[in-house]
Amino acid sequence: MALHCLVSPGGSPGVTTTALGLAMTWSSEVLLAECDPMGRRVLPGFLADRLRESAGPGLLGLAMAAETGPNAQLALEDYVAPIPGADSVTLLHGVRDPRHGVRLEALWGRLAEALTSREGDVIADLGRIGGRDTPDALLRAAQTVIMVLKPTLTQVDVAGPRLDALREQISDGATAGLCLVAEGPYSAAEVERVLGTPVMAELPYSPADARVLSDGARPRRTFKTSLLLRSFKCLGRRIRATAGALPTDIGSESDAVLCGASAGGDR
């Protein structure tokens, strides 16, 4: 099935939180793959008090297995773990120590193959792109690449050249889009025009709800119906529609309302 990569231009706009939120609200079986060479977040964050059994050896274990069996097919499913409370979501947790990033370089090509040939969809968090450690093989194999950024001058400035490079990298038929974490002076239309890339969703600035996903904070009573979660669902619908799974779903009026952040955050 399809590989959807979430990336950032740097500056911690919330790409990991968005990747996890997207996975938790995905409409079918999905694997969240933490492929940010700078390190993992879900295990010590969202899963810190939720994990009941071992999350397994994760991405580093997979890299070590790949080193010992350079020609064998990667047994990806042996390295993924269920996310408690989210029946259809599994996790391939990332490396803890960024020094292990170099071990991942030889893995990316084979991982791209394994991720695109598995049954369910995959959401991969690549973190900041544009550096020498960027998993380019995953970007080339992706059906969709979403750059998460804030609509500020500094974020738009760093995003520009990274999106130029990205458009050259992704395959024909793949889509590059933006997801704005609304906390900045520019409108979606302005960012879209300057970066020449469609805005697929605007997320509200919802620090309390975001902390549930990024830090494992206790959810408020309204978390499940929050604007943030509804916006993740909307982003998911947009991504699947663009990937061709739900052609009638794109651009519907309700999506336009839910994908907008104008209603404000933490509701």
> Which residues lie near ligand ADP (CB under 6 A)?
8, 12-17, 41, 181, 203, 205-207, 210-211, 214, 228, 265
Q: Is 214 in the site for Mg ion (CB under 5 A)?
A: no
Q: Which residues of 252-265 are buried (b: 16+ CB within 10 A; e: fewer)?
A: eeebeebbbbeeeb
Pick between residue 74 and residue 176 the one whose CB is nearest to ligand ADP.
176
Write out the DSSP string of 176-188.
Answer: EEEEEES-SS--H
Pick between residue 46 and residue 79 the one whose CB is nearest to ligand ADP.
46
Q: Which of ligand ADP, Mg ion, none lies near 242, with the C-beta cut-off 5 to 8 A by kind? A: none
The answer to whether residues 62 and 40 touch, using CB atoms and an 8 Å cutoff, is: no
Q: Which of ligand ADP, Mg ion, none lies near 211, with the C-beta cut-off 5 to 8 A by kind? A: ligand ADP
At 86, list the tokens. Answer: 């989210």
Q: How far is the CB of 196 from ligand ADP (least distance, A)?
A: 22
3-class DSSP string for 193-217? HHHCCCEEEEECCCHHHHHHHHHCC
Angle at Cα 210 formed by Cα 49 and Cα 261, nearest 5°? 160
Pick between residue 74 and residue 199 the one whose CB is nearest to ligand ADP.
199
Q: How far is the CB of 147 from Mg ion (least distance, A)?
A: 13
Q: How far is the CB of 181 from ligand ADP (least distance, A)?
A: 5
Q: Which of Mg ion, ligand ADP, none lies near 114, with the C-beta cut-off 5 to 8 A by kind? A: none
Q: How far is the CB of 211 from Mg ion (least distance, A)?
A: 14
Pick between residue 110 and residue 186 the one whose CB is nearest to ligand ADP.
186
Q: How far is the CB of 244 from ligand ADP (least distance, A)?
A: 27
Mark residue 39 as left, alpha or beta (left: phi above 0; alpha: psi -120 to 50; beta: remaining): left
Provide the edge-to-edge strand list for the sheet that holds 30-34: 81-83, 86-92, 30-34, 121-128, 3-8, 144-149, 175-181, 199-203
Of positions 2, 3, 13, 16, contacts Mg ion by CB under 5 A: 16
CA-nearest of 238, 247, 245, 231 to 121 is 245
Pick between residue 74 and residue 94 the one whose CB is nearest to ligand ADP.
94
